[in-house]
Structure 1
Amino acid sequence: MPVDPTEWTVHGTRRAYESPWVNVDLDDVEIPGGPRFEHHVLRFPRASTGAVVIDGDRVLLLWRNRFTTGVWGWEIPAGWSDDGEDPADAVAREIREETGYHAATITPLISYSPMTGISDQWYRVFLATDVRHEGEPEAAEASRVEWLPVGDLPKLIASGQITDGPSLTALAVYLSSPR
């Protein structure tokens, strides 16, 4: 198969930082007809998953603070897959840990790359339905876990109460999908 003339050439990779959460690499790249330089790349050792949890006309969200941005906001349940764990099983586990609910039905909604220019991360989002309460969520996961009307999502997004990229993407896809 011929090489696309607009495809960058990677001459090598040097790991600058490594952890169980994220790796930072410096890739020696060359742009076609352009310069050769080091490009920072974030590589994630585990798959990311999230879920839009729906019960009728309600969506289950977590009210969280993110110290990195200093922002409080509503988010979908989300987390990482453990080594060898199926993403659907991982998101079911995350829903239980973060909300105290069990979802009997989990179906794929969308897979996407949230930071294509600087990261290899893939995010898999599922639709979770047929839920039942099983217990209390893990205390460190969220300040509040609440069922909110699906119809309020556009207002929550417009007012800046949902700013988390994975949550925005997941909820926008859900809202734009035929139901």
Structure 2
Amino acid sequence: MQWTKQSEHPVYENPWFHVNLADVELPDGRHLDHYLIRQRPVAVATVVNAADEVLLLWRHRFITDSWGWELPAGVVEDGEDVERAAARELEEETGWRPGPLRHLLSVEPSNGLSDARHHVYWSDRAQWTGEPVDGFESDRRDWVPLKLVPEMVGRGEVPGAGMAAALLLLHHQRKA
């Protein structure tokens, strides 16, 4: 059964997202008001080194008041290529410039509320370029054994659903 958007108008806008209100027609003909968030694409990247360790960030999220492991990520700037944005974010947040990136997956983390798409890339090599420009993004940056990822996800140490999915897929693919 399909819901049909009849109209949509902005309620609030800023550089990171727009909150809109849509008139949605349900399959039985009823209408409802549905708020939605329009967001720019997000580019995500990591590196798995020769020791099969994955580069992760340990950071606090004030919204949920929680700590956890994450992959470097950020919005794709207007006119920017998604893969290039992923490489830029990785270097800005970790100080490591990735080698050639490979697309791992794209996810919609909250498609009942938002049109956000997160595009995840990875590389099997990187070059240290110096301290991260955006060092304020995380408490620390560590190379974590990829074999520990399933247990970390199971313990809730990777709270972001898209990041957990990406790390589990990367773990699975590297095991094969």
TM-score (ref. length: structure 2)? 0.93
**Is the partner of 2:89 in helix, strand or coil?**
helix
Q: Name whichever of 83-92 and 34-43 sits farther off.
A: 34-43
Whether the 8 Å contact between 2:46 and 2:90 is mirrored in structure 1 is no
After TM superposition, which residue ranges in structure 1, 4 or more long, deviate above 6 angstroms?
A: none
Q: Cα distance, 1:32 vs. partner?
A: 0.9
Whether the 8 Å contact between 2:41 and 2:117 is mirrored in structure 1 is yes
Aligned equivalents of 2:96 and 2:46: distance in 1? 13
Aligned equivalents of 2:157 and 2:105: distance in 1? 22
* Counterpart in the other structure of 2:45: 51
Aligned length: 173
Q: Gaps (5+ residues) in structure 2?
A: none
Q: Cα distance, 1:166 vs. partner?
A: 2.4
Alignment of 1:2-41 (within 5 A): 6-41=1-36
Aligned equivalents of 1:162 and 1:8: distance in 2? 33
Superposed CA offset, 1:46-100 (max 9, x none): 2101123211210000000000000011101111111110011001000100000
Q: Cα distance, 1:34 vs. partner?
A: 4.4
Alignment of 1:160-171 (within 5 A): 160-171=156-167
Superposed CA offset, 1:91-137 (max 9, x none): 10001000000111101111121111111111111112221111001
* Counterpart in the other structure of 1:147: 143
* Counterpart in the other structure of 2:73: 78
Whether the 8 Å contact between 1:77 and 1:98 is mirrored in structure 2 is yes
Q: Gaps (5+ residues) in structure 1?
A: 1-5
Aligned equivalents of 1:158 and 1:7: distance in 2? 34
TM-score (ref. length: structure 1)? 0.91
